[in-house]
Each structure stands twice: as C-alpha cells, then as structure tokens.
C-alpha cells in the first residue's frame, strides 16, 4: 500500500489546474491522495476553478478531502507537495511583457528577452513567498515549481533559498519528445531516453535512444531537417499543434537545427537564433497573451462554469496532458523512490563540465526519495557554450538587479540579451518596462 499524499496547488486559479486535477485523479493507484488543496491570492478567480474541481473530485474520488483557500496557513499546513504555477501580474502583464519590446522592434515573449526579464522581476518575490509559506507550515515538503520564467526563478531560489526543497521544472522538452514519439511511431515520449543540456528554454539534445538502446537520432534528424518538430502531413492529432502559433514554433525548429545539425534544439532557441524573423511575424497589437486569453483561458473558465452550473462533470472536456503528467510523475518519483530519469533545472556542480558550477542548468536527473541526482553531460561544444554563457549572465544580472534594486544591472541584463540589438534600444525598453511594472518591481536605484 502506497502512503497517501497531501498536495497543495499554488496558483489554484491557473488555466493548468484542472488538467493537473484530472491527472491526479486518474493516478490514484500510483500517487494516492488524502488531501488536495488549492491556494491563490485571487479568491474569486480560484473559486471558478475550485467549484468545478470540487464536483470532479466528488464524483470520481470522493475519498480525497478538497479545500480551496486564500489563507497561507490553511493551504500550506500538513502538505507533502506544493505544485506551484503562479503568474504574478496575470495574463494582462504578460501582454505588456510582449508588446513593450515589440514596440521597439525586439522579440516580445513570455520567458525570453526583455519580456522574460520583466516577468522574472515580478515572479521572484511571488515564488519566494510560496517557499517561505512551505518552510513555515510544512518544512518537510517539496515544492515542484512551474512558475516562469523558470531559469530566473531557479537562480533566485538558488541564491535566496539555498537549502530549500524546491525543484524548478519545464514541460517543453516533454512536449517536444511527445511530438517526436508521434513522428517516429513510439507510443510515448517517456519511451525516449535522452541526453540534454542547457538552461531552461535554452538547450539541446545530444542523444535519444529507445528503451532497448537503439539510436533514434538518425530517423528524427531526417524528419527535423525537413519539418522541424511539426508533422510531415496536415494530419495532426497533437492538441498543442492545433494552435497555429505553436505549429509555427514546432516547425521553426527546422531552422534552429540547421545551425547545428549535431544536436536537436529546444523550440525556444528560435527567439535567440532568429529574432528578426520572429519580430517580422509578430503582431504588436495582438500577441500570444491575447491568444491565450481568447482561447485557453476563455475555454477553461467556460468549462468550469458549465460544470458548476450542471452540477456534474460527467461530460467534462478537461483532460490531463503531458504538462500534468510530468509534475505528477515527478512527485511520485520523490514520494515512492522510483529513480525515474527526468529533465530538471538544477545547480550545475559539474554536470556540464565546462559551464560554471553555480549555473542553474537543465539536465537529466535520477529522481528518488533522496531528491534528484544530476547526470554528467560532459563537455559541451564552443557554439552552445558561448550562447549559454551569454544567456546565463543575463539571468544572473536580473537576479542581482532584483536583490540590489539596481537599474544599471537590469540595463546590463537587457543589453546583453541576444534578442536586443543595442544598449540604446535596451534603455528605451527598460524605461517603458519600469513604468509598466510599478505595482510589482522593487523601486530601482
């Protein structure tokens, strides 16, 4: 009999919460729950999701105690896991992160370039507060953190909470591997055993084997050289790729791959390798935040309200995707000592031999009751090393700017981003971002 777990989802009002609830319910044999709690600092938003999830739990797993609260003590007391996915400033602030750089002809993106830097400055205090709640009320718990920008958040937690039990994670490699599995006819992305290195949203694969040890890369590379990570025909059953912007991003991996055909790129590298192209294809009046508000957020909240009004979730369209699968699998590995191999964002300490020891890198780790043990990825080539070192300096400067309330360091961070053409443009963007983030950032000196 597996020991039952108590979980709090921080950011209960997130568009991803219902998917994680579906995954948790479907996994009661592998990851049984005694309590599930939601915590959010926006009670009204969270209530919409919680009212629907209460019905889902009541109908499908009534043995689980369910609580939704905005009180930190109630939320964080007696929990084994905090699954965090907050968005400080919400989707409207994401919209500004995207639109302000675009106004200056620079990539406008949630986690990359100046937009990601602005979001990092908002996220740091929000995530640190969650860690403090966890340490105060459930000091033995693990926090599994999706809140973005994960690289900057990871660097901030490394410095501010060096002994905390927090693991920062990203589902992009998981989603790419799912796409690759579909392309080469494997049942599941989990069937790919990979070697990968980099920073979050900034990495490369060097190896993909099947579980028997057969090299999958030749077949995958043949496909990626023609189609990127997109399908080779119009037929596509990957729900993520139903959105044109995600399909473009998956297909654009073809161009990132052409820069180094020895490795396979993360999709996010397009923002650094082809920023001119990305800007040319962006609409500065309707960015990804607008698409998300018009599509994912609207659909999820409408479904929550439909379930609540019907009083039953018998026909709910909510489903658990790879995003939910990954975080629940990670919690299971920590709780039940499975030694599964998963890509996590962790302190380097030699995992990538020729990067600084204190870089927060994304590498495969073995996950067990002991926590995570990074696997050695060895020495990486000059091209990737150069790109990573530049981006790592950006991320470190952002955290230093936050801690020292330094305008100068934030200016240096934006100037150093590969997405930004000059210090003049960096200053113009920064001044607009300071204005837009007054309610969230520390006052910069």
Ligand X SMILES: NC(=O)c1ccc[n+]([C@@H]2O[C@H](COP(=O)([O-])OP(=O)(O)OC[C@H]3O[C@@H](n4cnc5c(N)ncnc54)[C@H](O)[C@@H]3O)[C@@H](O)[C@H]2O)c1
Encoded tokens for 30 = 């592998």
Q: What are phi and psi of 236, to 5 degrees?
A: -150, 125
- The correct pick among 5, 13, 109, 272 for binding ligand X (CB under 6 A) is 13
The answer to whether residue 288 forms part of the interface with ligand X (CB under 6 A) is no
CB contact at 8 A, 75 and 331: no
Instruction: Name the residue with the smallest CB distance to Mn ion.
Output: 170
236 marked as binding residue: no
One symbol per residue from 318 to 357: x for binding ligand LEZUNG72 (CB under 6 A), - otherwise; what is it? ---xxx----------------------------------
Q: Which of these, 345, 332, 21, 412, lies nearest to 173 by C-alpha position?
A: 345
Encoded tokens for 254 = 């073809």
Non-local (6+) Cβ contacts of 233 within 8 A are: none
The answer to whether residue 13 forms part of the interface with ligand LEZUNG72 (CB under 6 A) is no
- Categorise residue 170: left if φ over 0, alpha if ψ from -120 to 50, beta otherwise: beta
Pairing assessment for the beta strands 5-10 and 33-39 based on DSSP bridges: parallel
Three-state secondary structure call for residue 423: helix
Q: What are phi and psi of 368, to 5 degrees?
A: -150, -170
13 or 179: CB nearest ligand X: 13
Q: Which does 147 bind (CB under 5 to 8 A by kind): ligand LEZUNG72, Mn ion, ligand X, none?
A: ligand X
CB contact at 8 A, 407 and 445: yes
Burial category of 393 from C-beta neighbours within 10 Å (exposed 0-12, middle 13-18, buried 19 and up): middle
Is 171 catalytic? The answer is: yes
Crossing angle between the packed helical segments 43-60 and 298-310, to the nearest 10 degrees? 50
154 or 352: CB nearest ligand X: 154
Size of interface with ligand X, in residues (CB under 6 A): 28
Of 74-93, binders to ligand X (CB under 6 A) are 85-88, 90-91
One symbol per residue from 292 to 311: x for binding ligand LEZUNG72 (CB under 6 A), - otherwise; what is it? x-------------------
- The correct pick among 93, 117, 172, 264 for binding Mn ion (CB under 5 A) is 172
The answer to whether residue 330 forms part of the interface with ligand X (CB under 6 A) is no
Q: Which of these, 379, 399, 367, lies nearest to 151 by C-alpha position?
A: 399
Q: Is the peptide bond before 323 cis (omega within 30 degrees of 0)?
A: no
Q: Which of 40, 97, 171, 432 is catalytic?
A: 171
Three-state secondary structure call for residue 137: helix
172 or 308: CB nearest Mn ion: 172
288 marked as binding residue: yes
Q: How far is Cα 72 from Cα 40, in angstroms, rounded to an integer?
A: 9
- The correct pick among 148, 190, 267, 287 for binding ligand X (CB under 6 A) is 148
Q: How far is the CB of 310 from Mn ion (least distance, A)?
A: 33
148 marked as binding residue: yes
Is 277 catalytic? The answer is: no
Beta partners for residue 168, in sequence order = 145, 345
The answer to whether residue 343 forms part of the interface with ligand X (CB under 6 A) is no
Q: How far is Cα 257 from Cα 317, in angstroms, rounded to an integer?
A: 36
Q: How far is Cα 20 from Cα 308, in angstroms, rounded to an integer?
A: 18
94 marked as binding residue: yes
- The correct pick among 5, 8, 9, 14 for binding ligand X (CB under 6 A) is 14
The answer to whether residue 172 forms part of the interface with ligand LEZUNG72 (CB under 6 A) is yes
Q: How far is Cα 310 from Cα 117, in angstroms, rounded to an integer?
A: 42
Interface stretch with ligand X, choices 164-172, 239-247, 249-257, 330-338 (CB under 6 A): 164-172
Nearest 10 degrees: Cα torsion 99, 104, 106, 111 = -40
Q: Which does 290 bind (CB under 5 to 8 A by kind): ligand LEZUNG72, ligand X, Mn ion, none?
A: none
The answer to whether residue 166 forms part of the interface with ligand LEZUNG72 (CB under 6 A) is no
Q: Which of 39, 268, 271, 372 is catalytic?
A: 268
Which residues belong to the active site? 171, 268
The footprint of ligand X (CB under 6 A) covers: 10-11, 13-16, 40-42, 45-46, 85-88, 90-91, 126, 146-148, 150, 169-172, 297, 323
Binding residues for substrate: 94, 148, 288
Binding residues: 94, 148, 170, 201, 288
The footprint of Mn ion (CB under 5 A) covers: 170, 172
């Amino acid at each position: 009999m597996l020991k039952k777990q108590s979980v709090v989802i921080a950011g209960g009002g997130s568009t991803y919460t219902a998917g994680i609830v579906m995954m948790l319910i479907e996994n009661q044999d592998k990851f049984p729950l005694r309590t599930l709690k939601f915590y959010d600092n926006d009670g009204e938003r969270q209530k919409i999701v919680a009212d629907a999830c209460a019905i889902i739990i009541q109908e499908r797993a009534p043995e689980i105690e369910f609580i939704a609260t905005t009180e930190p003590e109630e939320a964080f007391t007696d929990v084994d896991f905090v699954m965090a996915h907050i968005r400080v400033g919400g989707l409207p602030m994401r919209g500004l992160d995207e639109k302000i750089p675009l106004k200056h002809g620079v990539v406008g993106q949630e986690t990359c370039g100046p937009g990601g830097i602005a979001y990092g400055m908002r996220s740091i205090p929000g995530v640190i507060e969650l860690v403090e709640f966890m340490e105060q009320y459930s000091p033995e718990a693990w926090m599994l953190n999706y809140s973005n920008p994960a690289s900057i958040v990871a660097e901030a937690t490394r410095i501010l909470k060096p002994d905390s039990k927090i693991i920062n994670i990203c589902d992009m490699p998981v989603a790419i591997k799912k796409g690759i599995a579909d392309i080469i006819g494997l049942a599941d992305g989990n069937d790919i055993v990979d070697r990968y290195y980099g920073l979050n949203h900034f990495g490369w694969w060097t190896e993909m084997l099947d579980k028997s040890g057969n090299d999958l890369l030749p077949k995958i590379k043949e496909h990626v050289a023609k189609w990127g990570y997109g399908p080779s025909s119009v037929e596509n059953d990957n729900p993520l790729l139903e959105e044109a912007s995600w399909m473009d991003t998956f297909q654009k991996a073809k161009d990132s791959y052409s820069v180094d055909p020895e490795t396979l790129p993360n999709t996010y590298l397009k923002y650094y390798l082809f920023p001119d192209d990305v800007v040319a294809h962006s609409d500065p009046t309707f960015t990804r935040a607008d698409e998300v508000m018009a599509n994912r957020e609207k659909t999820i909240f409408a479904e929550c309200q439909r379930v609540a009004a019907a009083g039953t979730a018998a026909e709910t369209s909510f489903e658990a995707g790879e995003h939910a699968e990954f975080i629940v699998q990670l919690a299971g590995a920590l709780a039940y000592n499975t030694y599964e191999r998963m890509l996590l964002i962790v302190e380097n300490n030699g995992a990538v031999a020729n990067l600084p020891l204190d870089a927060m890198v994304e590498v495969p780790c073995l996950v067990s009751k002991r926590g995570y043990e990074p696997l050695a990825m060895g020495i990486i080539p000059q091209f990737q090393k150069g790109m990573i070192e530049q981006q790592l300096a950006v991320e470190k400067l952002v955290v230093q700017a936050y801690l020292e309330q330094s305008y100068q360091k934030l200016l240096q961070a934006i100037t150093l981003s590969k997405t930004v053409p000059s210090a003049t443009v960096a200053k113009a963007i920064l001044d607009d971002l300071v204005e837009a983030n007054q309610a969230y950032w520390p006052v910069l000196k």
